[in-house]
Chain A
Amino acid sequence: MTAMPELDPVIHAQARLRVTAALASLHPGDRISFPRLQELLDMTAGNLSTHLRKLEDASYVEITKTHERRTPVTYVQLTRTGRRAFEDYTAAVRALLDASITPTGSTP
């Protein structure tokens, strides 16, 4: 086996990968409300907050709690670290796929 790029375990889980990919497609500096993100991803609130907490623990996501017209609203955005981690993850996955396609790169 050739040196396999290490896949970031924080991102490398189906649900967290979806969340990270969605957040990464926002423009840097933009924040999205929790309910809107939940709607875009079609995830349950409990499931989404569990995964967001893990991403927040790794400092990949920044969660801001604020009030709008006296209603509490939670906003989510990818941190600079999170964005870089996602880019590295994507590059690593691509490298893995390329290695598996090139005959010399994939020894069973």
Chain B
Amino acid sequence: MSKLHKTPAEAATAATNAAGTNSEEPPSAADALAIIEEGRSRTAAGLTPNLVLMYGVWGVAWMVGFGVSYVLSADLLDIPPALVITLIAATFVPAVVISIVVGVRSGRGLRGPSETTGTMYGISWMIALTGMGLLLGGIQLPDDVAGLVYPASFVLLVGVMYLFGGTLWNDRLQYGLGIWLIVVAAMSTFLGNPNNYLVLAVGGAGGLLAIAGYHAFRGATP
């Protein structure tokens, strides 16, 4: 029975060896557990989207977007409009593309309830954001009010989407981020221009980057 006792390192090696070819060999009990764990974590890691990238690109885009808005509305710097558009396009376009590609790729080759859930959730983002854009587009708000309402509405909607995502995947961290973004969005309108942008940049973008950092720190394991 002494064969059953393996150090974690030996068990890990056994799991790696099992990845090799014709392993018809029955593993020892300790190896078997290591192999089960390796199979489980590989599958989970392979099927989970890269969360560091997902949260990271949006954190950067928001930081740039709200940061530039703050600088402009606080009259801190005179940024030429062409540069503003370039900066925003250079962060938001990749963020949209990357999140779609990463989201779709993670579910590749998978069919069944999980795939349906993932697809419906992805489409929900587009429906919700488009609806909010149209709703706000239909109202002629004075500039100062628009500057408070527009960004806060989108951040609140994103917060709601994270509540929804956290609920679907039983992800408490994502749910917590949703609550946080709703608080930040609501708080921003109380502060008025231009400080609302500062709150959205630090709290909103900062929140996304903190979650990206957390996932980076935890490594590939979801």
Query: Which of chain A's residues 71-89 have a Cβ closer than 8 Å to chain B?
Result: 75, 77, 89
Q: State in angstroms the CA–CA spacing of A16 and B24 once bound together.
A: 8
Q: State in angstroms the CA–CA spacing of A106 and B29 once bound together.
A: 14
Report whether B46 and A39 are in contact in the complex, using a CB–CB cutoff of 8 Å.
yes
Report whether A36 and B26 are in contact in the complex, using a CB–CB cutoff of 8 Å.
no
Q: What is the minimal beta-carbon distance from A62 to any residue of chain B, in angstroms?
A: 12
Question: Contacts A25-B40, A97-B29 hold; do A13 and B23 have CB atoms under 8 A apart?
Answer: yes
Question: Contacts A93-B29, A96-B29 hold; do A22 and B1 have CB atoms under 8 A apart?
Answer: no
When distances are taken between beta carbons in the complex, the residues of chain A under 8 Å from B19 are 18, 41-43
Interface size bracket, B side: 35 or more
Q: Which of B2, B23, B40 contacts A24 (CB 8 A)?
A: B40
Q: State in angstroms the CA–CA spacing of A97 and B36 once bound together.
A: 14
Question: Contacts A24-B40, A47-B22 hold; do A17 and B35 have CB atoms under 8 A apart?
Answer: yes
Interface string of A38-82 (1 = CB under 8 A from B): 011111100100000000000000000000000000010100000
Report whether A32 and B32 are in contact in the complex, using a CB–CB cutoff of 8 Å.
no
Report whether B1 and A25 are in contact in the complex, using a CB–CB cutoff of 8 Å.
no
Name the residue on A nearest B44 (C-beta): A25
Report whether B39 and A41 are in contact in the complex, using a CB–CB cutoff of 8 Å.
yes
Interface string of A14-39 (1 = CB under 8 A from B): 11011111101111011111011101
Residues in chain A within 8 A of chain B (CB atoms): 7, 9, 12-15, 17-22, 24-27, 29-33, 35-37, 39-44, 47, 75, 77, 89-90, 93-94, 96-97, 100, 106, 108
The listed residue with most B CB atoms (<10 A of its CB), out of A14, A29, A75, A106, is: A14
Report if B86 contacts A (CB, 8 A): no
Report whether B23 and A15 are in contact in the complex, using a CB–CB cutoff of 8 Å.
yes
Report whether A30 and B36 are in contact in the complex, using a CB–CB cutoff of 8 Å.
no
Please report whether the interface of chain A is mostly helix, strand, loop or mixed according to DSSP: helix
Q: Given A18-B35, A30-B114, A90-B33, 15 more contacts at CB 8 Å? A: A13-B27, A15-B22, A15-B23, A18-B19, A21-B36, A21-B40, A22-B40, A27-B113, A30-B112, A40-B42, A40-B47, A47-B21, A47-B22, A93-B32, A96-B4
Report if B43 contacts A (CB, 8 A): yes
Name the residue on B nearest A40 (C-beta): B46
When distances are taken between beta carbons in the complex, the residues of chain A under 8 Å from B111 are 30-33, 75
Query: Which of chain B's residues 9-36 have a Cβ closer than 8 Å to chain A?
Result: 17-19, 21-27, 29-33, 35-36
Report whether A17 and B30 are in contact in the complex, using a CB–CB cutoff of 8 Å.
no
Q: State in angstroms the CA–CA spacing of A106 and B19 once bound together.
A: 30
Name the residue on A nearest B25 (C-beta): A14
Name the residue on B nearest A68 (C-beta): B111
Q: State in angstroms the CA–CA spacing of A18 and B31 once bound together.
A: 11
Report whether B26 and A7 are in contact in the complex, using a CB–CB cutoff of 8 Å.
yes
Q: State in angstroms the CA–CA spacing of A9 and B24 once bound together.
A: 10
Q: Which 7 A-B pairs have the closest CB atoms?
A: A36-B109, A21-B39, A14-B23, A30-B112, A33-B109, A14-B18, A100-B4
When distances are taken between beta carbons in the complex, the residues of chain A under 8 Å from B115 are 30
Q: What is the minimal beta-carbon distance from A51 to any residue of chain B, in angstroms?
A: 9
